[in-house]
Structures are given as C-alpha cells and as structure tokens.
Amino acid sequence: MPGFTEDFYVRYYVGHTGKFGHEFLEFEFKPDGQLRYANNSNYKHDVMIRKETYVSQAVLEELERIVVDSEIMKEDDRNWPEPDKVGCQELEVRRNGEEISFATTKLGNLLQVQQSKDPEGLRIFYYLVQDLKCLVLSLIAAHFKIQPI
Amino acid sequence: MDAMDEDGPSQQGQRVRSTVTAVRKSKGRGFRDDRSGREELYGAYEGLDGDGTSGPLKSVEGWVVFVSNVHEEASEEDLHDHFADCGDVKNIYLNLDRRTGFVKGYAMIEYANQQEAQQAVNSLNDSDFMTQPIKVTWAFSPQPLRRIENRPRR
C-alpha cells in the first residue's frame, strides 16, 4: 500500500463531437477530496449532469492505490493512437512531483489495444480507466442515486 | 527553470492546479495540445449540503461507508453477512478488477440511518474479514479534507 501523498490529483475525460453535439464524461479528484463529475449526452435531449462532493481520505487512498498499482506513471503516450474523429480520452495524474497528461483515441476493444504500437502501455491505460470509471460511477450512484450513463 | 515552462500556452487556467510539491517531471501529449472550446466543462456543479456540523455527509437515500482491503474473492453475500450486524444493509457496491475479474479491493455499504453506519465505522474498522483486516470509514465528507494551495498555471 503506497503512502498517501498530499498533491495527488486525477482527471479523466472521454468525449467526441458528433451528430448529437459534444458528448462527454469527465471526472476529477482534487487533493482536498473534491470529486467532480460531469456527463453530457445529447441523445434524446438528455441534460447535462454535473455533480460534486467531497470524498473521505480512505477513498482518496484507495484511488491512489489503484493508480500506483497500475504503474501508469511509467508509461508514455508517445506511441499511442492520436485522438481523432472517433473520440478522445485524456488522463491526467499528479503525484509526488510527477505528472502525466496522456491523450489518445477512444478504445473500443482489446483488439485495438493489441494492434497498436504500444500494446503493453496501452493495455495498462485501457484497464486503469475502466477501473477508475467503475469507482467513480459507484460513488456517484451511491451518493446521488442517479444511474450515470 | 520550472517544469511548468514546458507547458506553453494553456487553456486550463480554470482548472485547479494544486501542488504541494513542485512538479519535477511532466509527460504526455496533454502538455502540448490545445484544449480550448471545452467551456461546457466549467459549468456549475450540484452537490448535497451537510447539516452544517462536522462528521459524515448524508447521501440522497442513506449513509454510505467505504471499505478497503477487501479480499479478492469476497462476494456481496459475504459482505452482507459481515455488515448486517450493524443494521439493515440497503445497498452494496462491490467492483471487480476489469483485467483479472477478481474484487478490486474496495466496497461501499449503504445503511438507511446514521446510527447503523456509525456503528459499522466504529465496530468493523480493523475487523477481520476473510482473513484480512478491513478498513471501514465514511465514504463522503461534508467539507474539504485539507486546504490546498492554488498555484495558477502560467
């Protein structure tokens, strides 16, 4: 279990612009525990959801454990597919004076990961963002009783 | 020279840049790309207000505790058995590691009232659950955990 760090910050964004406008999901955890979640789907005129709350220290520590265990900080997005018309994913992490701000396209499945120029690094990203989304969607669902997405 | 100098023009001025320690190393396309035209990300966010006292924050339908160091083979039923002693468990959130399919290591348990949830925090923190000591705390906080220093991005 990594020790908790005071500057720990995470942001994830996934989105694209298409016939329903700019549709996206974004969340961030700030070092003071603030969790912000935004989800805009214009399909059938859905409205923008924007929620914020503060999570406890234990939640931040678990988030940090997940990020550290993934070893994402050792990766680099240099050889990942560029964001494109299909969409864009961004992952930003700051911890212990190091920061990453990765961007790539939407990854539909593992095959796309395996066929990329950096399958090992991209696989780490692919699973990490799913685990992070899973944590955030549960926190939002438990706290606000909405079913995000 | 500050590591920030590599950032170039940035549209992220509205994002909180909170670093206690100075950034020594930056990596990734995000420090290069222009992200203007995303103004819709900066609208007003909606939250739940506490009752003005310190202590836990009530969720919409109940009180949520956060459990960590959960055994990778735990099931919702195992968790229910462990937490039902403190009160009526309304909901359990137990997520799996997307790569391995085993439990990721945390869970959330929702109780209808504060006394039950408080009882879980008091009596089940550090308790043994499937041979592992689990940590049981509140999931949400009514206020920031600490002051963060805002250092504007140049």
The ipTM assigned to this model is 0.93
Nearest CB neighbour to A138, from listed B15, B24, B95: B95
Asked if the Cβ–Cβ distance from A32 to B147 is below 8 Å, we say yes
Q: How far apart are CA B35 and CA A71, in angstroms?
A: 26
Nearest CB neighbour to B104, from listed A131, A139, A143: A131
Helix axes B114-124, B76-83, angle to 10 degrees: 100
Distance of CA B148 to CAs A7, A30, B21, B75, B140, Å? 9, 9, 11, 38, 18
Higher-pLDDT residue of B32 and A14 is: A14
Q: Of the candidates B37, B33, B38, B27, which has an alpha carbon nearest to the alpha carbon of residue B9?
A: B33
- The pLDDT-based confidence of B147 (bands split at 50, 70, 90) is confident
CB A116 within 8 A of CB A134: no
CB atoms within 10 A of CB A112: 15
Asked if the Cβ–Cβ distance from A54 to B143 is below 8 Å, we say yes
Task: Identify the pLDDT of residue A19.
Answer: 87
The list of chain A residues with pLDDT below 70 reads 1-4, 44-45, 148-149
CB B12 within 8 A of CB B38: no
Q: Are strands A34-40 and A49-55 parallel, antiparallel or unpaired?
A: antiparallel
Higher-pLDDT residue of A15 and B52 is: A15
Spell out the residues 6+ positions from residue A96 whose beta carbon is closer than 8 angstroms to its own. A5, A7, B21
Is residue B6 predicted with pLDDT exceeding 50?
Answer: no
Task: Identify the pLDDT of residue B88.
Answer: 96
CB B68 within 8 A of CB B134: yes
Nearest CB neighbour to A143, from listed B19, B41, B60: B60
Task: Identify the pLDDT of residue A5.
Answer: 80
Higher-pLDDT residue of B63 and B18 is: B63
Nearest CB neighbour to A98, from listed B25, B29, B140: B25
Q: Tell me the backbone φ, ψ of residue A45, rounded to 5 degrees.
A: 60, 35
Residues of chain A found within 8 Å of residue B28, distances taken between Cβ atoms: 76-77, 100-103
Residues of chain B found within 8 Å of residue A135, distances taken between Cβ atoms: 95, 104, 106
Task: Identify the pLDDT of residue A96.
Answer: 92
Spell out the residues 6+ positions from residue A119 whose beta carbon is closer than 8 angstroms to its own. A113
Is residue B154 predicted with pLDDT exceeding 90?
Answer: no
Average pLDDT over residues B66-80: 98
Helix axes A119-144, A57-70, angle to 10 degrees: 160
- Of A3-17, B34-48, B51-65, B121-135, which range is least confident? B34-48
Q: Is A121 helix (H, G, I), strand (E, B) or coil?
A: helix
Tokens at A65, concatenated? 């454990």
Asked if the Cβ–Cβ distance from B98 to A130 is below 8 Å, we say yes
Is residue B81 predicted with pLDDT exceeding 90?
Answer: yes
- The pLDDT-based confidence of B48 (bands split at 50, 70, 90) is confident
> Is B62 buried (19+), middle (13-18) or exposed (0-12) by CB count in 10 A?
buried
Asked if the Cβ–Cβ distance from B60 to A144 is below 8 Å, we say yes
Taking the CA of residue B88 and the nearest CA in chain A, the distance in Å comes to 16
Tokens at B104, concatenated? 């990721």
Q: How far apart are CA A82 and CA A104, in angstroms?
A: 5
H-helix or E-strand containing A58? helix A57-70
Angle made by CA atoms A30, A74, B35, in degrees to the nearest 5: 50
Tell me the per-residue pLDDT of B87-136, one tens digit each, with 9 for 90 and over.
999 999 999 999 999 999 999 999 999 999 999 999 999 999 999 999 99
Q: Are strands A9-18 and A21-29 parallel, antiparallel or unpaired?
A: antiparallel
Higher-pLDDT residue of B153 and A34 is: A34
> Is B10 buried (19+), middle (13-18) or exposed (0-12) by CB count in 10 A?
middle
Query: A115 at the B interface (CB within 8 A)?
Result: no
Asked if the Cβ–Cβ distance from A55 to B141 is below 8 Å, we say yes
Q: How far apart are CA B143 and CA A53, in angstroms?
A: 9
Asked if the Cβ–Cβ distance from A58 to B66 is below 8 Å, we say yes
CB A141 within 8 A of CB B93: yes
